[in-house]
Amino acid sequence: MLLNLLIKPGWVVVENLVQDRLGHAAFGTFTALYALTLVLASVSDLGLTQHTTKRVAAEPSFLPEYFPTVLPLRGVLSVVFLGVMLAVGWVIGYRGYTLTLLALVGGGLLLTQYAQFLRGAVQAHQHFNTDAWLSVFEKALLLGLVVALLPVGITLTNYIGARTVASAFTFVLLYALVARLFGRVPWRLNRQQAGEVLRGSLPFALITLLYGLNERIDMVMLERLASPQEAGYYAGAYRWVDAVMMYLWTVLPLFFAKFAHALHRKDEQRDLLWFGQRVATVPLLIICAFVLFRGEVLFWQFKHSSPEELARMTLCLRILFVNVLVHAFFAIYSTLLTSTSFERPVSWLVALSIALNVGLNFVLLPRYGAVAGAVNTLICAVLVSVGYVTLVYRRAGVAVPWALLGQLTLSFGGLCAVWYSLQRYWQLPWLAESIVAGLVFVALLFITRVVRVSELRPLLKRGG
C-alpha cells in the first residue's frame, strides 16, 4: 500500500509532463480512447475476476477443477471485448490512425485485466506480499518507460506503445509466476462449467459497467461532441481529482467490512457512520479549500500552455473539486447501503445519474466544452448524494448525523472565510498562506466540536 501511495503522486507528476509535451489535443485524444476502453471493460471480464477470487478463497478445489475452463473463457471474452471496442470506436467516428491507437490502448488494457484476473488466484491463495509487489511492478515499469521517453521526445504513438509494452511484460511475468506457483493449467473449455461461472459473475459485471459509465463517459463524449482540446483540459483537471479520491477509495472499504459485520445492529451502524463521517470528510475539506483558492498552483508543470488554457483548466479543477467535496460528505452513505443489502436501489440511483449526465452532455458539451462536463458531473453527484442520504434515513433506518454535518459545514465555511481574508488583505505566498489556513482549520475543528479534547486525551495517554 505504501509503495502504491508513493507511485500515485509520481504518476500524476509524470502525466502532467506528458500532457505538457504532447499538447492538450493529443492528450485529450488518448484520454478519450482510454476512457472508452474502460467503459467497455466489463465486456472483457463479465465479473469473472471478482467471482473467481471469491470462489477460490472459499473453495480451494475450485482452482484445479474450474481453471481449465475459466482461462480459455477469459481469453474468448478478451477477443470479444477487442472486437466490440473497435466496433464502437468505428460507430462513434474513429478511423485510420486513431482506430489503430484505440486497438493498442484496448490491447494493453486487455492484458492488464487478464493479469488482474490471474492475480485473483494469487490473492485467493494468501500470497498477499507477492500480489502487492505485482501490483506495484507494472506501474513502476510504466513510470520508468515514460520517464525514459521524455528526454528523447515523447509522441502519442510511443507513449501508447510504452503503456502496451509495460502491460505485455507484466502479463507474461505473472502468467509464468502463476504456472510456477500452481503448476501448468491446461485449457479445456467445459460448457456446463462456463455457464455456471458466468451466471455467478454477471452481477459483478453489471456493477462494473454502471460505475465505469458513471466515471468515464464524460471524457469520451467531450472529445466527440466538443473537441480533443477540451478533453485535454478536462483530463488535466480530473487527474488531480482521481489522485485525491484515492483517499476515499482507501478508507471506505474498511468501513464496508465494518458495516457488513454490524448488519442487524442499527446502533452499531449508526456509531460507525458518525465516526466514519469525520474520517472521510475532514481531511478532504482542507484539500478542497486549497484547490478552490489556490488551484492554479497544481498546474505549475504546464510550461507550454497559454494563460487562457491554464485559466480554463483551473476553472474545471475548481468545479470538479466541489464534486469531491460532495463525495467527502456523502460517499460513506453509499458504502453503508452497498454493504447492507441495498445494492439494487444504489444501482438504480447510479443508472439515473448516468442517464441525466448523458442527457446534459448532449445539450451542453458542444457549446461549453470542458466546463460543462465538470458542471454536469457536479449536478449528478449532488443528485445521487441526496438519494443516498434519503435511502439511509428511510430504508436502512440508520440515524443521519445532521448536527455533525452542520458542524463540518460550519468548519469548512469558516476555513473559506479565513482563506478569502488572507488573500484579500495579507497577500502571502501560497505556501505560507496554506499553512496559516491549515492551522486555523485545526482550531475551527475544535471550536465547532467536530473534534473534542475529551476524545484526544485517551490517545495522548496511550501514546505517553
CA distance 77 to 60: 25
343: containing domain: 226-400
Letter for the amino acid at 423?
Q
The predicted pLDDT at position 155 comes to 93
Helix 62-91, helix 191-225: angle, nearest 10:
30
pTM of the model: 0.87
User: What pLDDT, on the 0 to 100 scale, is given for residue 398?
Assistant: 87
DSSP percent split of the chain into helix, strand, coil, nearest 5: 90, 0, 10
Same domain flag for 142 and 247: no
Q: Are residues 242 and 208 in the same domain?
A: no
Question: Are residues 242 and 211 part of one domain?
Answer: no
Same domain, 306 and 356: yes
User: Given this model, what pLDDT does residue 427 score?
Assistant: 87
3-state secondary structure of 387: helix
173/95 same-domain check: yes
The DSSP letter of residue 184 is: P
pLDDT of residue 75: 77
Last residue of a domain, one of 196, 219, 242: 219
Whether residue 264 is contained in a domain is answered as yes
Which of 364, 379, 400 represents a domain boundary (last residue)? Answer: 400
Distance from C-alpha of 431 to C-alpha of 69, rounded to nearest angstrom: 57
Q: Are residues 76 and 1 in the same domain?
A: yes
Nearby residues of 247 by Cβ (< 8 Å), 6 or more positions away: 283, 284
Whether residue 69 contacts residue 228, with contact meaning beta carbons closer than 8 Å, is answered with no
Report the amino acid identity of residue 381. A
**What is the domain count for the chain?**
2
CB of 227 closer than 8 Å to CB of 24: no
Residue where a domain terminates, one of 374, 400, 426 = 400
Q: Are 110 and 170 in contact (CB under 8 A)?
A: no
Q: Are residues 277 and 335 in the same domain?
A: yes
**Rounded Cα–Cα distance for residues 29 and 366 (Å):** 16
Instruction: Indicate whether 348 and 291 sit together in one domain.
Output: yes
Is residue 32 a contact partner of residue 219, using CB atoms and an 8 Å limit? yes
- Domain presence at residue 424: no
Residue 413 lies in a domain: no
Shared domain for 33 and 56, answered yes or no, is yes
The answer to the question of residue 74 being in a domain is yes
CA distance 273 to 393: 12
25 and 155 in a common domain: yes
DSSP 186: P
* C-alpha cell at position 34: 482510454
Rounded Cα gap, residues 255 and 276, in angstroms: 7
Distance CA 180, CA 223 (A): 44
Domain membership of residue 415 (yes or no) is no
User: Helix, strand, or coil here: 401?
Assistant: coil
pLDDT score for 40: 80
Q: Please report, in tens digits, the pLDDT of each residue of the chain (464 residues total).
A: 555 656 677 788 889 999 999 999 999 999 999 999 988 876 666 666 666 655 655 566 666 666 667 777 777 888 888 898 999 999 999 999 999 999 999 999 888 877 777 776 665 555 556 666 666 777 888 888 988 998 888 999 999 999 999 989 888 888 887 777 666 666 666 677 667 677 766 666 676 677 767 778 899 999 999 999 999 999 999 999 988 998 998 888 888 778 877 777 888 888 889 999 999 999 999 999 999 999 999 999 999 999 999 999 999 999 999 999 999 999 999 988 887 778 788 888 888 999 999 999 999 999 999 999 999 999 999 999 999 999 998 888 888 999 999 999 999 999 999 999 999 999 899 999 999 999 999 999 999 999 887 666 665 555 54
Q: Are residues 40 and 183 in the same domain?
A: yes
pLDDT at 233: 96
